[in-house]
């Protein structure tokens, strides 16, 4: 339990910083496609690990999965030493010479050039968590917190419970349950890839709103037919998770852009705390609902949360192909 806690600190600290870093290094035009393709690594990793788990766990036991994951973590750690600091962050700290050197290094690595709007360096302003609730950013903060909570409540609730549901409710063998659960990650990977190709055309706000509504419709259909078979849960539940996966990834594209550099990572970190809270309480609540009301009530709960997400997504601001400094002064 303590090692899992330490692992959570590491992953929880890396994820928001990585989202801010990639956004700060990306140009406005095509940023959505570039960032979403980068984020595809996450569902791709889930898909591969699920396939590995389906092969390794029945044959060798679950402990081997920790060894496989640990080796991957050590490899990632070595890659961190190759990263350069974000020029935007350096400028926000008044370290203009260092920022210039990083920019020159980036420019020397490619012949491609774009027209950019260059502003004179502003006075260094230190970020403060209280600014998240200032009149300008308050609504953005509350909206993105609700979106994070609702999307991860549904996504992690489905992903964490499906293997158990297949085995305990539908009495599938362990190996079949793991293979059925792995389908969820395959569908998510395909959905995120489609989102990456279309997001700059559709827009962040429209995609999130429609995706939440589609998830709600799929889960309501499961409730309506009573989730009578493992196949219906496998296909409709996996489709719902796949579509919701595009929202969870999209929010890592959206959240860094609604805050300025001085508080970008701070804003992402606070928002990420809400998804962690949702991920922590969703399995407990779902276990209680499953035992007290049955499996159909679980999907009703998911559908209601998705409806809340759709309402809040409609209130998002559109950030498509806008310079970060124009979105969040």
* 27-52+128-327 under CATH 1.20.1250.20, yes or no: yes
Q: Measured between alpha carbons, how far is 169 from 150 in angstroms, rounded to an integer?
A: 25
Contacts 24+ apart (CB under 8 A), 8-11: 8/276, 10/73
Task: Kindly indicate the confidence band of residue 220, based on its pLDDT and cuts at 50, 70 and 90.
Answer: very high
pLDDT more than 70, % of the chain: 95
The structure tokens 């063998």 sit at: 173
Is 80 exceeded by the pLDDT of residue 135?
yes
What is the pLDDT confidence band of residue 117, given thresholds at 50, 70 and 90?
Answer: low
Instruction: Give 134's DSSP letter.
Output: S
Task: Give the residue extent of every domain in the chain.
Answer: 27-52+128-327
- Residue-level length of the chain: 329
Say yes or no to pLDDT of 73 above 90: no
Tokens of 26: 């990306």
Least confident of 41-50, 122-131, 188-197: 122-131
Q: What average pLDDT does the chain have?
A: 84
pLDDT at 119: 53
Residue 28 DSSP class:
S
Q: Looking at residue 261, what is its pLDDT?
A: 85
Q: Any idea what the Cα angle at residue 268 is, between residues 262 and 272, rounded to 5°? A: 155
User: What pTM value is reported for the model?
Assistant: 0.78
Region 301-312: mean pLDDT is 95
Q: How confident is the model at residue 123 (pLDDT cuts 50, 70, 90)?
A: low
CA dist 44 to 131, 187, 202, 314, Å? 36, 10, 23, 28
What are the tokens at 148? 């994070």
Identify the CA nearest to 269 among candidates 16, 4, 39, 5: 16
Distances (CA, A) of 98 to 54, 101, 243, 271, 322: 48, 5, 41, 30, 25
Asked if residues 265 and 17 have their Cβ atoms less than 8 Å apart, the reply is yes
pLDDT mean over 242-249: 91
């Amino acid at each position: 339990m303590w090692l899992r806690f330490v692992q959570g600190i590491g992953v929880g600290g890396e994820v928001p910083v990585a989202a801010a870093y990639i956004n700060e290094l990306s140009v406005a035009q095509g940023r959505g496609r570039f960032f979403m393709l980068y984020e595809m690594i996450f569902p791709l990793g889930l898909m591969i690990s699920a396939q590995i788990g389906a092969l390794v766990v029945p044959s060798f036991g679950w402990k081997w999965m920790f060894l496989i994951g640990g080796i991957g973590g050590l490899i990632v750690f070595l890659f961190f030493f190759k990263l350069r600091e974000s020029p935007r962050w350096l400028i926000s700290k008044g370290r203009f010479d260092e920022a210039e050197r990083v920019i020159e290094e980036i420019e020397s690595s490619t012949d491609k050039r774009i027209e950019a709007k260059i502003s004179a360096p502003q006075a260094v302003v230190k970020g403060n968590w209280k600014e998240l609730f200032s009149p300008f950013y308050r609504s953005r903060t509350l909206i993105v917190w609700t979106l994070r909570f609702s999307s991860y409540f549904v996504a992690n609730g489905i992903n964490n419970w499906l293997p158990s549901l297949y085995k305990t409710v539908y009495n599938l063998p362990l190996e079949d349950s793991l293979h059925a659960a792995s389908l969820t990650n395959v569908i998510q990977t395909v959905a995120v890839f489609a989102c990456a190709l279309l997001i700059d055309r559709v827009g962040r706000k429209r995609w999130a709103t429609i995706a939440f509504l589609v998830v709600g419709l799929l889960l309501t259909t499961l409730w309506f037919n009573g989730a009578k078979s493992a196949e219906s849960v496998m296909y409709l539940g996996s489709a719902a998770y796949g579509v919701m996966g595009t929202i969870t990834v999209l929010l890592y594209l959206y959240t860094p852009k609604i805050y300025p550099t001085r508080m970008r990572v701070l804003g992402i970190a606070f928002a990420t705390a809400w998804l962690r809270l949702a991920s922590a309480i969703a399995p407990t609540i779902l276990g209680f609902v499953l035992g007290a009301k049955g499996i159909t009530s679980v999907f009703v709960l998911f559908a209601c949360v998705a409806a809340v997400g759709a309402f809040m997504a409609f209130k998002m601001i559109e950030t498509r192909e806008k310079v970060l400094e124009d979105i969040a002064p």
